[in-house]
Structure 1
Amino acid sequence: MDSLPFFLNYIIPFLGIITVIVFVHEMGHYLVARWNGIAVDAFSIGFGPELFGWTDRHGTRWRVAAFPLGGYVKFTGDMNAASVPDPDFAATVAPDEARRLFANKSVWQRMAVVVAGPMANFIFTFLVLYAMLLGYGRLTLDPVVGQVLPDSPAAVAGLQEGDRFLTVDGFRIRGFEDIQRVVSTAPGREIAVTIERAGEIRVLSLVPETATTTTRFGRELKIGRLGVSRDVGANDIVTYRPGPIEAVGMTFEEIWFIIDRTLGFLADVFVGRADLDQVAGPVGMAQVSGEVATLGLLALVNLTALLSLNIGIVNLFPVPMLDGGHLLYYLFEAARGRPLSQKVQDVGYRIGFALVCTLMIFTLVNDLV
């Protein structure tokens, strides 16, 4: 593989996506911090040596660093980018400056700043998906069964030609593509299917069979299949354009689907049911970014929005070093009336750092293997 085409086709789209997501996330932290009167030393896209930057009139250094896989907002009085407070600095700072320190704000203000990053990712995803739905509508296929494969899960459950899907696994079905998307994320797991047959509503239970598909890069993915197809002779491909109000509901449905499937996959990981080969790291994300980039700018923007949502979800996990870990500390502080000891927090940060590093190494090895 030539290095220049690979860089242009895969690395550039990937870095563009990561930069947008990190900027949105950190801007959420920054804005809520400023609204609460917190002094900010640095707003960084990336880690490591600074490539270029500038200092604004508030004293915040806006910088782009050499290693772009992440970023941070560093508050005045923090020892590092993980928002670990520096007790020596807090003890010697002037009173006027002390009231602007993140560590000296109320626990509720600190919680608001922490939550603001993931919330910014959620809001960004909503706005992008909503705008694309209003602007371009949605191609959809009539969700009516055209054929049922013999001995398939659909046949065993009693699905018949002409059945119209209404819901699958609790998700509303607007088109045949919805069926494929929901079922593909539930291999080997029992799901409920609501159909309409001759004016009668029926609920069936079935277990999608597990099938294996291979991406162009050789990564094998396990997906679920029902064993049904639509009527290929029907001219039922239409562009559905919802109104502004309906588009709000459809966008929330899309976001909830991603959240539900993400949490479901993680639950499967904990019980040993998930296929860990499907966990992708930076290399896998670069490959996906390059593939999607070939479909055009709109597809790349859509991928950015979906990854932004996933980054927001992951950051809320109760792991020290992540936003969810900080939030967990502050919830303990709010319940106890005083913060956890610095020793306990330090131990938590070390555990969190080890977990994050382990995950990064695992995903990288997974990508390369």
Structure 2
Amino acid sequence: MLLTVLAFVVTLGVLVTVHEWGHYWVARRCGVKVLTFSIGFGKPLLRWQRGDERWQLAAIPLGGFVRMLDEREAPALPHEVSQAFNRQHPFKKILIVVAGPLANLVLALLLYAGLYVHGVDAIRPIAGQVTPASIADRAGFRPGDEIVSVNGRPVASWDEAFVGLLDAAGDAAPVRVGVRSADAQTTVRSLPLDQLGRAVYEPRLLIRLGFTPYPLTTTIERVEAGSAAANAGLMAGDVITSLNGAPLEQWADLQAVLQQRAQALTLGVRRGEVVRQISVVPTSVEVSGRKIGRLGLEPAVDERLWQQYQVQLKYPPLAALSAASEKIAIQTKLTLAMFGRMIVGKASLDQVSGPLTIATYAGESARLGLSNFIEYLALISLSLAVLNLLPVPLLDGGHLLYHVVELLTGRPVSPQVEAIGQRVGLTLLLALMALALFNDIHRLFLG
């Protein structure tokens, strides 16, 4: 818990500081007087003075602000009128507003590029298992197949394959997947993602398609206490050799049967030198609105194959910047596309996450090591940049919209219009925050 809290505070602290520094740095260079630079909202916990500027850390760490001299808020002294934000040319206002999200974008670019220079641990996109009768199985994928490209774009890891599939999810045509089979034959297969409906935009996309990256064996690694498997007498170390009288070739065959319904099963089990038949009745559980069976077993991973699947992606500096830029471009496109699909009802609203989920993932990434935490920091920084540029009043994108209108019309947006925008923006943001908090609680405590 302490690590999670610390990782969350560091994440917000770094991202908010970089964001507000962007606004501050450009405002100063545009000749605008800055009154307050605050990390956090509410009551100041720590404050200090730098010339005419007040710098502070406030009690609520969910954001920050840069308060500039503005005659709409308070009168300016005669000699400072030219330094007021409201007196600036619309182009300068646009630069100041965009600078915050742009700073987060630059941070994400540098973090990703730094990781690529240092080397990023990844998993080769090899199908450890392919679920029988799944979309991947019907498309011709088999265990040991390696994905080498998605719609012509080369991929070197499961993360890149996942992003490539998501990027193509909105296309009506099936995705063209370049595959190198276990016998080194290369071919192109078609994956009809539209068969998944809205589920195509979920984090479990690969599993829903039928891919399991882990090379699972039919050896039992762990048996959950009190589960159907434990009650039937199954133990860790047992090897399941048959299912309902037929040889069990891969763990996915057992998963496929359980996905159909909770039906009684007869398992051939080798324990030591003895093979016995064990009958077990799976527990019926509801997942995504349908009943499936659950045994409470965890299979062992083929460690020899798993080691072969490990890879480190490492590039020289210029290539790292190029790879980071491409990654950011794709993720930005996906983020915007996801918002668009949620608005029109083509993607589930449960993808929206709030501070509890961010804190949880920050802690998990920190536990996995510095590289994982830096990659998570880059992802959140990029998300913050994109979301802040949405044309919603109270966000940077809303202010940007006002200043673009001023640039085009030659006059500022009226106070009445801004007041209406503030109310609409506040309503939208409160609704979004409520949805995010609801999803957080459901995901962490009820999911």
TM-score (norm 2): 0.70
2:65 corresponding residue in structure 1: 72
Residue 310 of structure 1, aligned match among 383, 386, 398: 383
Matches within 5 A, 1:148-163: 148-159=130-141
Residue 271 of structure 1 aligns with an amino acid whose one-letter code is V
SS at 1:112's partner residue? helix
Aligned 8 A contact 1:281 1:360 in 2: yes
Residue 342 of structure 2, aligned match among 269, 277, 286: 269
Residues in 2 aligned to 1:362 and 1:128: alpha-carbon distance in whole angstroms = 30
RMSD over aligned Cα atoms: 3.0
5+ long unaligned stretches in structure 2: 216-303, 443-447
5+ long unaligned stretches in structure 1: 1-5, 79-84, 214-219
Aligned 8 A contact 2:101 2:386 in 1: yes
Q: What is the count of residue pairs matched by the alignment?
A: 345
2:11 corresponding residue in structure 1: 17
Residue 414 of structure 2, aligned match among 319, 336, 341: 341
1:174 corresponding residue in structure 2: 156
Residues in 2 aligned to 1:185 and 1:162: alpha-carbon distance in whole angstroms = 24
Aligned 8 A contact 2:104 2:384 in 1: yes
Asked if residue 298 in structure 1 is aligned to residue 371 in structure 2, the reply is: yes
SS at 2:37's partner residue? strand
Asked if residue 288 in structure 1 is aligned to residue 361 in structure 2, the reply is: yes
2:178 corresponding residue in structure 1: 195
SS at 2:357's partner residue? helix
The 3 A distance-change label for structure 1 pair 359 and 242 is same
Once the two structures are superposed, residues 160-198 of structure 1 have per-residue CA deviations (whole angstroms, 9 ceiling, x without a partner) of: 677653432575312344324544788898651231568
Residue 327 of structure 1 aligns with an amino acid whose one-letter code is L
Query: What's the offset of the Cα at 1:125?
Result: 0.6
Aligned 8 A contact 1:188 1:209 in 2: no
Once the two structures are superposed, residues 309-346 of structure 1 have per-residue CA deviations (whole angstroms, 9 ceiling, x without a partner) of: 10110000001111100110111111112112111111
Aligned 8 A contact 2:152 2:178 in 1: no
Residue 207 of structure 1, aligned match among 190, 193, 200: 193
TM-score (norm 1): 0.83
- Range moving further from structure 2, 348-357 or 159-168: 159-168
Residues in 1 aligned to 2:126 and 2:441: alpha-carbon distance in whole angstroms = 41
Residues in 2 aligned to 1:128 and 1:19: alpha-carbon distance in whole angstroms = 16
What is the percent sequence identity of the aligned residues? 35
The 3 A distance-change label for structure 1 pair 101 and 272 is same
Aligned 8 A contact 1:24 1:120 in 2: yes
Asked if residue 322 in structure 1 is aligned to residue 395 in structure 2, the reply is: yes
Query: What's the offset of the Cα at 1:306?
Result: 1.1
- Range moving further from structure 2, 312-321 or 261-270: 261-270
1:216 corresponding residue in structure 2: none
2:49 corresponding residue in structure 1: 55
Aligned 8 A contact 2:23 2:100 in 1: yes
Aligned 8 A contact 1:141 1:237 in 2: yes
Aligned 8 A contact 2:165 2:175 in 1: no
Structure (1 or 2) with the larger CA radius of gyration: 2
Query: What's the offset of the Cα at 1:97?
Result: 0.6
The 3 A distance-change label for structure 1 pair 76 and 301 is same
